[in-house]
Structure 1
Amino acid sequence: MHDSSLAPLFKHHIDVVTQRYQKAMENHDFDHLVIPAGSQHGIFLDDMSYPFKSNFHFNSFVPLDDLHDSVLIISADGTRKLCYYQPVDFWHYVAGDPEGFWVEHFDIVMTRTKDEVLSHVPTTGNVAYIGEMGRPFDEDGFAAVNPGYFMNEINWHRAIKSDYEVECVSRANKRAALGHMAARDMFFKNGSELEIHLAYLLATGHAEHQLPYGSIVALNEHAAILHYTLYNNQAPDNHRTFLIDAGARYNNYAADITRTYAYEQNEFAELIGDMDALEQRICSKVASGQSYVDLHIETHHEIAKLLNKYKFCDMSPESMVEAGVTSTFFPHGLGHHIGLQVHDVGGHQANVEGDPAPPPKSHPFLRNTRDIEVGNILTVEPGLYFIDSLLGDLKQTDHAKSINWDKIEQFKPFGGIRIEDEVLVTATGPRNLTREHLD
């Protein structure tokens, strides 16, 4: 994207990011960094390649996702050299000439072959390589390859987003919102999962490989499969419910949004409404200094109250959470950091040094254990599902007698519910980047 209005935001952003990398280089005695965009990966015994996915360290500086085999070189004095790969190739798409608001911030040299970059790699001082190792490089040519102590420091600080990053995530949410509305409309037109998925792609302007992750487009019982990506091309006989977990990108920054819809106004639709209200209450509590782990556990208590309200379980909310009953219905974590990656790294670090902060044993799938800070962008995605395997496990416990199994059977055909927004933490309170574009 070449929107010139981003120029001042990007100037501040690249200065901040460069300073982070410089500081880490100083702390760990590196003079230069070689950061490849990455290469296309060929399919085994085939002449085709997998879709290219760029190195997020490269994209922290360069806002393009199609520069495979380009390389960024950062030096301790803050200089940024970009070896921009533009081969002569009439078989495949080749990146155009560099242009846009970002170009002035780099010393750009054009390379026509992969080997040309070697002449630009510094030959003196300690040089670290940050990325996946591949041609034309060799591990033996560097003082370190992806040194953990260096990576921990970078990953820790990248949880604090610049104003440029916030704007890109907001625009990604706007783009994804267009897709969600188109998908919702196709659901109510009785579309198949594949038809809904294609409507989403068309509305976002994305090809499938450009999505930040494989979209979850789940009708009826399929909504109980947390990462369902089959895209059935046959519409079901009856449309009961629709869960869509789908994102978009803007300058490589990701959106990650989930919504659930009921085809008719019934008790399941009422449950969706209550889950939506629950999710917004939790979003309102995303504040600096708040423990994300505590917020996750509070969400379990809120889920327990709904299990009481809809007569799925007659245990007290406190007892349900303590006994792990709520994990049958809400088995995943509350959310995660998001940015250049859908699941931004660093969520299980206790500090800048990288000491581990694993999730509680009773909540093993929680992706973030860090306390919340100003500048974080976090997803909030509570769910309530009717999953056969987990319900089967619950039936084998002493708590089975507290479950209204007849009521469970009535709701299983609807699959489940998930509602997900992205929330920016500011000094004055949370800003919901999703609800600004999608109710």
Structure 2
Amino acid sequence: MHSHDPAPLYAAHLDELRRRADAALGRAGLDHLVVPSGTAHFHVFDDRDYPYAVNPQFKAWVPLTRTPGSWIVYTPGRRPRLLYLQPRDYWHVVPRAPEGWWVEHFDIEIIRTPEQALPHLPPAGRSAILGEPQSALGDYAPNNPPAVIAYLEYHRAFKTPYEIAMMRRASAIGARAHRAAEAAFRAGASEFDIHLAYCAAARQDACELPYGNIVALNEHGAVLHYTELDRDPPADARSFLIDAGAGYGGYACDITRTYARARGEFQDMVDAVDAAQQAMCAQVRAGVDYREIHLDAHLALARVLRDFGVLKLSPEAAVETRVSSVFFPHGIGHGIGLQVHDVAGFAESDRGGTIAKPEGHPYLRLTRTLAPGMVVTIEPGIYFIDMLLEELRGGPHAHSVDWARVDAFRPFGGIRIEDDVVCTGDAPLNLTREAFATA
């Protein structure tokens, strides 16, 4: 049974982070782990800053996402320390003092300027300092030891119960916002206004979301990362594809849904992809090679295309000739957690190494064997992409497609269904379907 409340799970999560840090530092022969939260980045010819994004290594320890200039310091055998920047500033809102169920686990030092952190930082030469170069403070700069990074990122794939609870909360926010976006689509809103309805329901600004919303009407659904957001609605809104997430305490959800305006063949195809997607989600079990889920997805989607008369050849032949990749040109998914595309998707072990992608499938982002605690996305899609269709039509396998059927579906763009799924020791836990059921 998974708890919905992260608070009572945090102490055990922190213990696991300390255990991982102890092991990683031992590998590198270092004495301290130091993690800056990151700093603001500025335009080169302006005084405007880019939206701040917290260091993922930092927010693994504390649920803080808007505290630039702060530091985590951990030495094995000691309580972790938080150097918390709370500047004296009348130009901007000053971060509130640390509060909540996690603060009792840290020794907290309030600093008023970034430089005040320096006396509290351990010797740089004996420390693993994990962060971006811009986090350097004087001569104290991130060094990102490969042995430490490899160990921590590999094990970050295995989420603690606390992390699952945080992702469950993010999923609840995302599902609520998706419901609002669908309602805006059915009311005739533009892509831009649907996006605004999503942000309003999530109570998160665009720069606070874990990635830029993909809000695509009609043919725009054939652009995998469509983010243009037309300000005016089309004369005829036939279809709607939305790929949008939300965050909670530094953790992300990643959800995609596709809708037709009216009942018809396109909605029937959406329903068929949805059924196939749920079968793929059921494959998220311990010991399953994630690459096999990807290859099975090609067979399942080719079967859908055959059933709807788009393909003339068998699903097996469609995969063998790579015709299926014309209609499903991306990977089946990726790891997710502190980052939307979570790290170490190809890691062979916590010492490094790479697990290769299947030949002919360059866009798969995860090749590891699943184990309890891993959280992955499952996001099959069928698209009618002009560029890829033109290449197919001009190649040796043009006869394998009914082009009249392609033309019938082309005005709808494409279909993608995406859920976040937890691998357990038993049946998988679908965070997304659970969230929609209670939204």
| TM-score normalised by length of structure 1 | 0.97
Identical amino acids, percent of aligned pairs: 43
Equivalent position of 2:317 in the other structure: 319
Q: Is the 8 A contact 1:359 1:369 kept in 2?
A: yes
Q: Secondary structure at the match of 2:168?
A: helix
Q: 2:332 aligns with which of 307, 327, 334?
A: 334
Partner of 1:83: 83
Q: Is the 8 A contact 2:36 2:135 kept in 1?
A: no
Alignment of 1:31-430 (within 5 A): 31-123=31-123, 126-134=126-134, 136-137=136-137, 141=140, 145-430=143-428
Q: Is the 8 A contact 1:219 1:239 kept in 2?
A: yes
Following superposition, the deviation at residue 76 of structure 1 comes to: 2.4
Q: Following TM superposition, by how much is the alpha carbon of 1:406 offset from its aligned partner in structure 2, in angstroms?
A: 1.2
Distance 1:124 1:352, change over 3 A: closer
Residue identity in the other structure for 2:7:
A
User: What letter is aligned with 2:423?
Assistant: V
- Structure 1 stretches of at least 4 aligned residues deviating more than 4 Å after TM superposition: none
Residue 253 (structure 1) shift: 0.4
C-alpha displacement of 1:125: 6.4
Q: What displacement does 1:133 show? A: 2.1
Q: Cα distance, 1:102 vs. partner?
A: 0.8
Letter in 1 for 2:378: V
CA distance in 1 between counterparts of 2:356 and 2:119 reads: 43
| Alpha-carbon offset, residue 264 of structure 1 | 0.6
Distance in 1, Cα, partners of 2:417 & 2:147: 36
Structure 2: distance between partners of 1:291 and 1:23 = 27
Q: Secondary structure at 2:22's aligned position in 1?
A: helix
The equivalent residue for 1:24 is 24
Stretch of structure 1 that moved more, 74-83 or 245-254: 74-83
RMSD: 1.4
Tell me the SS of whatever aligns to 1:358.
coil
Partner of 1:265: helix, strand, or coil?
A: coil
Q: In the alignment, is the contact (CA less than 8 A) between 1:292 and 1:371 conserved in 2?
A: yes
8 Å Cα contact 1:347/1:368 also seen in 2: yes
Partner deviation per Cα, 1:19-47 (whole Å, 9 max, x = no partner): 11111111211101221000001112212
2: distance between equivalents of 1:352 and 1:81?
A: 26
**Contact 1:32 1:125 (8 Å CA) reproduced:** no
Report the secondary structure of 2:266's partner residue.
Answer: helix
What secondary structure does 2:329 align onto? coil
Is the 1:329–1:384 Cα contact (8 Å) retained in structure 2? yes
CA contact (8 A) 1:38 1:54 kept: yes
Q: Distance in 1 between matches of 2:123 and 2:52?
A: 29
1:56–1:135 CA distance, 2 compared to 1 (3 A): closer
Ranges in structure 1 where 5+ consecutive residues have no aligned partner: none
Amino acid at match of 1:19: R
| In structure 2, distance between residues paired with 1:93 and 1:129 | 28
Q: CA deviation at 1:361?
A: 2.8
Once residues 30 and 345 of structure 1 are traced to their aligned partners in structure 2, the CA distance between those partners, rounded to angstroms, is: 23
Distance change (3 Å), C-alpha of 1:403 and 1:6: closer
TM-score, normalization by structure 2: 0.97
Change (3 A) 1:78 1:319: farther
Residue identity opposite 2:327 in structure 1: F
* Cα distance in 1 between the residues matched to 2:87 and 2:14: 27
CA drift at 1:141: 4.6
After superposition, the C-alpha distances for 1:187-207 in whole angstroms (9 at most, x for unaligned) are: 000100011001101101101
**Which string of whole-angstrom CA distances, capped at 9 and with x for unpartnered residues, describes residues 360-417 of structure 1?**
2311100000000011111000000000111111112111012111111111110000
Offset of residue 135 of structure 1: 5.3
Q: State how far apart, in whole Å, the 1-side matches of 2:424 and 2:5 are.
A: 22
Distance 1:171 1:267 in 2: 35
Contact 2:79 2:105 in 1 (8 A): no
Contact 1:82 1:106 in 2 (8 A): yes
Task: Decide whether aligned partners of structure 1 residues 432 and 124 sit closer, same or farther in structure 2, where only a CA change above 3 A counts.
Answer: closer
> Which amino acid in structure 2 is aligned with residue 223 of structure 1?
G
CA distance in 1, matches of 2:43, 2:290: 40
How far the C-alpha of 1:81 sits from its partner, in A, is 1.2
Q: Cα distance 1:220–1:135, how it changes in 2: closer, same or farther (>3 A)?
A: closer
Query: How many Å separate the matches in 1 of 2:125 and 2:390?
Result: 60
The separation in 1 between residues aligned to 2:135 and 2:334, in whole angstroms, is 33
Residue 134 (structure 1) shift: 2.7
Provide the C-alpha distance between the structure 1 equivalents of 2:43 and 2:125, rounded to a whole number of angstroms. Answer: 37
- CA drift of 1:124 comes to 7.8
When structure 1 is superposed on structure 2, of 221-230 and 25-34 the one drifting more is: 25-34
Contact 1:19 1:78 in 2 (8 A): no
Distance (whole Å) between structure 2 residues aligned to residue 124 and residue 290 of structure 1: 42
Q: Distance in 1 between matches of 2:338 and 2:97?
A: 23
Offset at residue 5 of structure 1 (A): 4.8
- Partners of 1:388 and 1:78 lie apart in 2 by 59
Q: 1:283 to 1:177 in 2, by over 3 A?
A: same
- Aligned length, in residue pairs: 434
Q: Distance in 2 between matches of 1:275 and 1:5?
A: 33
Question: Letter of the aligned partner of 1:108 in structure 2?
Answer: I
